Amino acid sequence: MQTISENRSFGGVQGVYSHASEACGCEMTFAVYMPPQARQMPVPVLWYLSGLTCTHENAMTKAGLQEHAALHGLAVVFPDTSPRGEGVANDEAYDLGQGAGFYVNATRTPWRPHYRMYDYVVSELRALVLDAFDVEDRHGITGHSMGGHGALTIAMQNPDLYDSLSAFAPIANPTQSDWGRKQLSAYLGDDEAAWGIHDSVLLMGEKGWKGDVLVDQGASDQFLDLLKPETLSEAMARRRQPGVFRMQEGYDHSYFFVNSFAGDHVAWHAERLI
């Protein structure tokens, strides 16, 4: 692991690091915020998965999580959204290829050699963070848009690995959305039976979540037809899933929305992790 930068932030340290990823077959960059409490003892970890077109940097600089993480004593990990670099497959469209990994393990060419973001987040980067930073093996996960999709689906598939769960404006039902069908068919093939484990609505119906879940959605989000929040709300109600689903009046899909409710989400995770 190489250190790219480290900056003081709310008494803690915001760092950016890189490493050679075996899962993705390329150099990967990620960010970690370590709160001031980590100088005295290991702290729990909150994973923040970002959305389409983002890198580790977008949420690190725009979501405003550091102040809240410092208050509650949580480390925050910001992975990248896809593999990158020379030789890594890409597409001219913003919603496929680099910046649009969708947190799946691709099985089709040309994506298969590098696009293994599921394994990267769940296994490889997790192990690296536990080894390199003063953190507890106790984890929460959240994310925005494509990252909200990733947080929900990863947590429901791995309830033994995560103890708290939330999402901001997740792509809730990708098997029925243009933000999903295009990418899942490209990465996984045309057999829709293979897509279900990456759809939070289907997973909510099949598995649910072991605890309670917090979901915030902007009511003025310009991408509501693609996100399909009502399908997740309905799936939670059918399952009688403990949790809170909030439609936030006047808020859109931007990081102004995420920043506005970041404190609520960090506090939610802190209550369940500490």
| Catalytic residue numbers, as ranges | 145, 221, 253
Give the separation between CA 27 and CA 137, rounded to whole angstroms: 25
Which residues on adjacent β-strands are paired with residue 46?
76, 140
* 140: exposed, middle or buried (Cβ count in 10 Å: 0-12, 13-18, 19+): buried
* 117: exposed, middle or buried (Cβ count in 10 Å: 0-12, 13-18, 19+): buried
Task: Write the secondary structure of 215-256 as one string of H (helix), E (strand) and C (coil).
Answer: EEEECCCCCHHHHCHHHHHHHHHHHCCCEEEEEECCCCCCHH
Considering all CA atoms of the chain, what is the largest pairwise distance in Å, rounded to the nearest integer? 51
* 21: exposed, middle or buried (Cβ count in 10 Å: 0-12, 13-18, 19+): buried
Q: Alpha helix (H) ranges present in 122-215?
A: 125-132, 146-157, 178-188, 200-206
